[in-house]
Amino acid sequence: MAITANYNAAVPDEVVDDAAEAGPPLEAPAEATLEMLRHSAAHLMAAAVTQLFPGAQYDVGPAIEDGFFYNFRLPEARHFTESDLESIERRMHELSDAQIPFERDALSKAEARELFEKMHQDFKVDLIDRMDADVDSVGIYSTGDFVDLCRGPHVAHSGLLKAVKLLRVAGVYWRGDERNEQLQRVYGTAWFTQEDLDRYLERLEEAKRRDHRRLGAELDLFSFPQEIGSGLAVFHPNGGLIRRLMEDYSRERHEAGGYEFVNSPHISKAELFEISGHLQWFAESMFPPMELDEGTHYYLKPMNCPFHILIYRSRTRSYRELPLRLFEFGSVYRYEKSGVVHGLTRVRGLTMDDAHIFCARDQMMDELTSLLDFTLGVLRDFGLSDFYLELSTMPKEKAVGTAEEWAEATEALSTAARGRGLELVLDEGGGAFYGPKISVQARDAIGRTWQMSTIQADFQMPHRFDLTYIDAGGAAVRPIMIHRALFGSIERFFAILLEHYAGHFPLWLAPVQCELIPVQDDAPEVIEYVTKLAELLRAAGLRAGISDKTGERMQAKVRDAELRRVPYVVVIGRRDVERSDDVVRVRDTRKGSQEDIPVSVLIDRLAGEDRERRSS
């Protein structure tokens, strides 16, 4: 299977630095790509803004996944309004109708600096001043009167930008640093056809309905109390139950897979992270140190791997113990900038389902292959099935180890990935500082892509911690270390499943699997029957509830259960009790169907669905 370069990968929208990508204009491919179209739409939007708001300053405006954005500083500290977006979009369509060409040029840095200084475009001057000394010339693109510092490439003319839509405004810190001023970021999207745009906007509306933050509140699953702090979630009883079920199943699968369970503390002395390299390469994502024990610095742990390494190193290891597979649900803490914290998908306190495998060099290939199969199998059990793989290689700057070690690790990961029959996309320079990685990308029910599991081959940590094992000949040999996070984090995986299922979790994960609704809640014989049926369901290991909406109409009780996403609802009235045939009316709220079935069939059906962990 061929590896395809990910040329159209979205630019991370939290921090974009054009100075790092400076140079002369790039050649356009024979056919325009969506990335080109969206980058051109960003320029067209900036052209419209500068026409409508004279004196507006523009920062950076890249294409991102499904769209584009541009950062602005408006004169007199003005803020965009909803009507402003409508005006900007109308002007963009007017500019599109004019079929204005995108004209490119190349200037020396000095010429470009002089140009943008005269235009009073401070952000562009700053970009030029921060470019590497070896950058001789820079790209310039003009769209009518609008001029931008840009390498391109772009579409031929603005007339190709018909299917565009502005979406929202957000506040962002300049260069992603909360110590800097806040700019206004206008987001938009662009597509080749109006039909494609309409489909995307429909998907956006569906995504809003599935937003895990909204569903989390509606279903009473989790919250983010202000008293605790940004990006720190608490799980309520319903959310805690779902989370426990997820974790219990993961533990079950790991135990069957030959993993050994370990635990590690939440903090450590700085020395550990100095040895691991995290303080050198990852410090900006770590919380500040705590000074304890007469000046000793302690850190909240950002990763579990150094602790698992110390467990391995706690005694002499023999080749007979390898591969040694260690697993932990370990809480870690990352100092995410406030502008990128987002519900459960980007938090500051998270629980990672971390596994670290220590193996001999000749075991690495088999371990990587089995790891990938194990990972894909567990994800499928949770109802995800549409995958592709991404291979992230050696970063240009933040990397330790030799090029030869990186090449060997990358080739091993590539070989393991090729055998899975899935598309493999190359992410040049996207590896961690200690090794390349494979990430499993999953598409959800509405076609969005989420990064899920990661598998990393690491030759560096065993060297930094001087890990060895004794081989069959009695010699001390360096092991290979493999890092693997299956869910990524429990919190993020929870959010993805919540949105994937739109809150309608499969039966085995539903907090209440079956709600019993008495039609006459003042009739003793009905309440007695409902109570006994609940006991039978619970005796079969099912989570059954009885509606507590006393005095409300039956339809209102059913609607309440549907809003709480209870999979099955059983309605029982006086006539059902009087028949004495143990046949009840069952509603499947996910399918919108109902039928009359014997109680024994109901229990067997639900128990089977729960046991088999079917998705619906």
* Weakest mean pLDDT among 169-173, 182-186, 428-432: 428-432
What pLDDT score does 552 carry? Answer: 86
CA distance 151 to 18: 9
Average pLDDT, the chain: 91
**With 90 as the cut, is the pLDDT of residue 382 above it?**
yes
Q: What is the share, in percent, of the chain residues with pLDDT greater than 90?
A: 75
Strongest mean pLDDT among 24-38, 470-484, 568-582 = 470-484
- Per-residue burial over 250-284, b = 16 or more CB atoms within 10 Å of its CB, e = otherwise: beeebeeeebeebebeeebeeebbebbbbbebbee
Give DSSP secondary structure letters for 244-264: HHHHHHHHHHHHHTT-EE---
The tokens for 118 are 């005269």
Q: Are 410 and 393 in contact (CB under 8 A)?
A: yes
Q: Are 99 and 157 in contact (CB under 8 A)?
A: yes
Please give the residue that has the higher pLDDT: either 9 or 269. Answer: 269
- What pTM did the predictor assign? 0.86
pLDDT by residue (tens digit) across 257-283?
A: 999 999 999 999 999 999 998 998 888
pLDDT by residue (tens digit) across 198-254?
A: 999 999 999 999 999 999 999 999 999 999 999 999 999 999 999 999 999 999 999
pLDDT grade for 3, boundaries at 50, 70 and 90: very low
CA distance 44 to 158: 7
Bridge-based pairing of strands 3-5 and 424-427 is: parallel
**With 60 as the cut, is the pLDDT of residue 593 above it?**
yes
**With 90 as the cut, is the pLDDT of residue 79 above it?**
yes
What pLDDT score does 179 carry? Answer: 83
Could you tell me the domains of the chain? 3-210 (3.30.980.10), 216-264+302-500 (3.30.930.10), 507-612 (3.40.50.800)
What pLDDT score does 283 carry? Answer: 87
Q: Are 280 and 304 in contact (CB under 8 A)?
A: no
Q: Are 603 and 582 in contact (CB under 8 A)?
A: no
Q: Which residue has the tokens 């009885």?
A: 546
Q: Are 388 and 2 in contact (CB under 8 A)?
A: no
Spell out the alpha helix ranges (H) of 231-388.
237-256, 270-276, 278-281, 305-312, 364-381
